[in-house]
Structure formats: C-alpha cells, structure tokens
Amino acid sequence: MQNSNRRTFVKTAAAGALAAGFSPTFSFGLDAAHKKPNVVILFIDDLGFGDIACFGNKRIPTPHIDSLATRGAKCTMSYITNPPCCPSRCCLMTGMYAQRFGKSGMARGLPIPDDHPTMGEFMRDAGYVTGQVGKWDIGSNGQGPHQRGFMEVARNAPGNQYDREREDGSYVYLTDLDGDYMAEFVDRNADNPFFLYFSPFAVHSKVANTPQHYRDRIPGGNGTAYEGAVLAVDDAVGKLIAMLKKRKIEDDTLILFTGDNGANRTEGGSSEPYRGGKNRDTQQEGWVHTPTIVTWPKAIPAGVTFDGKMGTIDFYATMAAAAGTPLPDRCDGKDLVPFLQGKKQEDVHEYIYWHNADPTDEPRRNLYAVRWKDWRYIKYPDGWRLFDLKKDPKEMKDQAANHPEVVDHLHQRYEAFVATLPPLKPSANYRGGGQVPKGWGWELGKG
C-alpha cells in the first residue's frame, strides 16, 4: 500500500497509550502471566455482519458481545475464505485456505490432512486442555473432535433442532445448554491453560421455535424468532464472561469472536451495510464478510477499531503466537496481535482470495473473487465485475470498464493464486463427516 493512500487501520480512544508504548498492563508475552494465556474461539453459525449491536444493529441488544468489543478490538474487514459452513470450519481449524487440500466446495466428509495439525491437536501438544462445544461438521467419518485433538467434548443432547432434552427428560433450549457447557468447561479447567472452541448450532435455521421470553426482550416489542435467537447467543457469551470473571482469569484469556459465514437472510439475518448472504445473493459481499471481535486485555488495548483486511485463517496463527509455539509451515494466517496493537499499520493480507470451483457442488456455492485495497473483483455468470466497496458497499455499480488496469492486475493475481492449488476434490465423492458424540454431559479423553 502506498503511503499517500494509507488508511488509518487502528483507531482507539487510548491513542496516547499507543503513541507512547504499552504500559505493563498491555505487555505481550508470558512472563507476567506465569502461565500461557487461555484461548476461546466463539464461532457463531450464520451470524451476519449487521446482526449485533456493536456492528450497527438497532434492535437486538447484545451487551455481552458488545463488552468484548469495548474491552478489545472490533475488526470491520474480516473474512471467511471458503463458505459455507463445513469449508469455513476447515479453514479455521487448519489456519489455511482449505482449497490447498482440495476442498473447493462443500465436500462434506473430505478428510482433514493427517499431516497437518488441527487447532485442537496443536494446542493439546502445546500443553493446553482442549475443549469443544457445539457443531463440528469437519473432516471425514472417524475425524470427530476427539480424534482431532479435543480432549473434552460436550455431547449432543437428543432432540430436534433447538428443542432438546435433558437427561431427566425435561426440555432445554439448545443455545442455553451450549452456554452452560461453556461455563462448565471454564470452571473445571480454570487452573490450567485451556483452549475452548465454542461453535453453537445457533443461529442456523430453523429458528422458528426460539423461546418467547427471548423475543419479548427485544426493545419495542414484536421481537422475531431470529432476533431472539441472536439474543440467546449473547446470553451464552454472558455465561462465559461471568465464569471468567468468577475464576479471575478474564484478563488472561484471548477471545476471538466471529461467524462461520454471512447472514441467513431467509431467517431474518442482516448483512448491512452490505448485500447478500447465505442461500441467496451468494455472489455479494455479505456472504463472506463477518463481524469479528478480538479481546485480550493483557495484550490488546481497549476500544480499538481495526479496518485492515484479515480473516478466520488468522485465528490459528494468533493462537499459536499467544501460546508461544511455532506455527506449522502450511498455515496461511498471520498473528493479529501486532496489527491490533498498532505496531503494524497495514492490512493483515494485501489480497484475499475465493476459489470455490467445484462443478458438483450447488451452483450458488461457486465463488471466484479477490479483495485488494477497496476493490472487490468477482466473477458472475455473465463475466467478471469490479466494485469499490468503500464508495459502493452494496455493489450496485460495476467499475470494470472504468478501471481496466485494476481488472488486469486482479485477474493476474487471482490466476496466480489458483495456479498454486492442487486439483479439487469433488463434493459428489464425499458424504457424511466427523460427528460430536451423542448423549449428555462430557466425553473425556486424550484428544
């Protein structure tokens, strides 16, 4: 990026602290902590960019999620590189473009490479207690969370969608149960460094049975099932925060919050100020642009807004740096902390690519695109288009004819990226996939 056009990527009320250097409160490293920091990833299903209050939603109160942003960094240009759910989770769990091992579409059931450690395996080997709560949807049959590094796995209670049953036969709303499991894991492991991967089914469809008491809490009345479902997720996050505070480890915990892909607009999700999302208008920005928050009081100053381009492929590298353990060679991600501290003043990734080209996948899931500066270069059925997302976030005006030099540059970059990829593995050849064990309580093991 040229200096004359450089944007201000990190904005914070604590500008003086950034300019003068961090106080010991914000020191990065393990000496002051005397133990490795805890790590929590909150990976919400189908959460849209405009679904939470701190990202502009005017109706849904999300005070607990908002408090993470208040105490850390709100990241406004964060992306998933391989939608939808299953490929997105594989990118997160491996810290690289899943296209690098042939996953260029849904390909549910495609094995995660045995020679590349998942987040769970990496953190287990770094001395962490590893836990998983919620949806898995990763790898092949036989590659459930226990087989790929997670030592403590919350079992999947019987029931249908969000309506589940406790062991005594009583009703429990799934998001409430997931939040309870999250707090249990933290309480049980608070004296040791832990890594918790929280991936609730919420707010995936169908949300029609969201309990009425959640809908009733939407200010102004007439809360929808979807709005109530988002509020329930916020309550689950509140259970996590309360337990971290109770065990006095909130400042020692790195929390990374985001969604697995953009909004499910058919259920009521919002991609504002962008268009598109899951299931329809998937070629538009809203399907891959997710709300992201990173909080770590001992390393990241409070109240930061980071506008640099980044993605969920960076969570692995950030976690590895926090653990003080070298990153595996094949990871594409970068440690986010220096960018959120203001020590690095640029995009985390100058270019971000999408190449979902599986001919056996549903056509709406095919996606060919690249992001650079303010530009989004995207292939439609009738040809490539170019949009300036800063001036035109809803992608209403194709600028390809007006900027042929940008088109040529981005097309070359895109083709160069694709040339690095192995042959894709068709979704039609893979079925099933790794599963969470069924029942109640926890399945404990060595991961």
* Per-residue pLDDT at 11: 64
pTM (two decimals): 0.93
For residues 64-74, average pLDDT: 98
Looking at the chain, the whole-number percentage of residues with pLDDT higher than 70 is 92
Is residue 74 within 8 Å of residue 49, measured between CB atoms?
no
User: What domains are there in the chain, each with its CATH number?
Assistant: 35-344+430-444 (3.40.720.10), 354-427 (3.30.1120.10)
Look at residue 19 and tell me whether its pLDDT is greater than 60: no
pLDDT digit string, tens, across residues 295-312? 999 999 999 999 999 999
Q: Is the pLDDT of residue 30 over 90?
A: no
Asked if the model's pLDDT at residue 15 lies above 80, the reply is no
* Residue scoring higher pLDDT (78 or 8): 78
Q: What is the DSSP letter of 210?
A: -
pLDDT digits (tens, 9 = 90+) for 367-401: 999 999 999 999 999 999 999 999 999 999 999 99
Sequence-ordered list of residues with C-beta below 8 angstroms from that of 294, at least 6 positions apart, any chain: 72, 73, 75, 254, 255, 256, 257, 300, 318, 336, 340
**pLDDT tens-digit series, residues 175-188:** 999 999 999 999 99
pLDDT band with cut points at 50, 70 and 90 for residue 221: confident
Vertex 265, ends 263 and 269: CA angle to 5°? 60
At 9 the pLDDT is 56
Taking only the tens place, the pLDDT of each residue in 231-273 is: 999 999 999 999 999 999 999 999 999 999 999 999 999 999 9
Structure tokens at 264: 């499910």
pLDDT at 6: 35
Mean pLDDT of 69-96: 97
Please report which confidence band the pLDDT of residue 220 belongs to, taking 50, 70 and 90 as the band edges.
Answer: confident
